[in-house]
Amino acid sequence: MAKRTIQDLDLKDKKVLVRVDFNVPIKDGVIGDDNRIVAALPTIKYIIEHGGKAILFSHLGRVKTEEDKKGKSLAPVAKRLQELLGQKVIFVPHTRGPELEKAINDMKDGDVLLVENTRFEDVDGKKESGNDPELGKYWASLGDVFVNDAFGTAHRSHASNVGIASHLPSAVGFLMEKEIKFIGEAVEHPKRPFVAILGGAKVSDKIGVIENLLSKADKILIGGGMTYTFYAAKGMAVGKSLLEEEKVALAKDILKKAGDKLVLPIDSKTAAEFSNDVPVEEHAGDVPEGQMGLDIGPETIALYAQILDGSKTVVWNGPMGVFEMSNFADGTIGVCEAIANLKDATTIIGGGDSAAAAKQLGFADKFTHISTGGGASLELLEGKTLPGLAAIDDK
């Protein structure tokens, strides 16, 4: 990897500013899923084991007004992190000022401190999410080195990642290094056959990914709502299915360019309404009037499993149907099972809904890597440069 990593830094006696991703679901002060906190532990432990002082920055949700701050404090995260680390975590309920500065200056080697939600700085204008130069410089002044371990925000240019990195010696943490290694390597140097599976609602969300992967993957399997924009591009009937009419011409261009590399579903599970409580039908090809396609059908599941058989690299981003409804989860389950059963393959889920589906369906441990960042992994799959990564010092 061309970027400097945490193992390239001398951390002893250093105040190490770390951008982590603790954007976890919190309801009534209770954390619903602590996976992102757990994912940051290797980097935090490495810092304290090597004599550094770990000063952690993270956002939580979107904050635009004083009212938005309610329920968005990182205090519950500090408590959970303390339990996971088995040592005290100092929490400072401020993003700047004398109390924060004193708490940092009083730290001893091996201490861990969590700064309050960086997005609280967005209340008086987008200081954090707008990468305000003064804020980035101020935060950088609190430390000696910077480690970015928040892949989930690497596609954003914020004061707490790009801003800090522009003023301090910087490196990536273990989680960020792992994400780049798996997703970047899979796309740029895949073992073949390389199959990409793209689902989700809209073609517009995945255009860049499809176009980038056309030159790299051996097959691209399509699922989800965007199926029906491609159907329309082929002159097929889509009934009441989700359709981006303004993207039909683009879908035609993609189909023409892709040839047999792009594979569309051959049948659909449909219903008259977007509901789990109405009769389900199965239709090959065209979707009849009055029906909407809500999942890939059994013939497509079998076809996709057949194409996946023997694959050596698989990247999956986006569910095959409305997997939250049991009547329309079979496609996502089927694809999940087919990937999970592959032998000697590198299998990667690009975050977001597909990651949620794999976890919900109990397949999480069957994959080589599940990304912690939906938007960031999508942009990597598109071949884009991530600002949060670009700002880090090269080796």
The set of catalytic residues is 36, 202, 352, 375
For residue 319, which phi and psi values (nearest 5 degrees)? -70, 160
Q: How far apart are CA 184 and CA 390, in angstroms?
A: 14
- For residue 316 the two structure tokens come to 């999956």
For residue 310, which phi and psi values (nearest 5 degrees)? 90, -5
Q: How far apart are CA 60 and CA 23, in angstroms?
A: 4
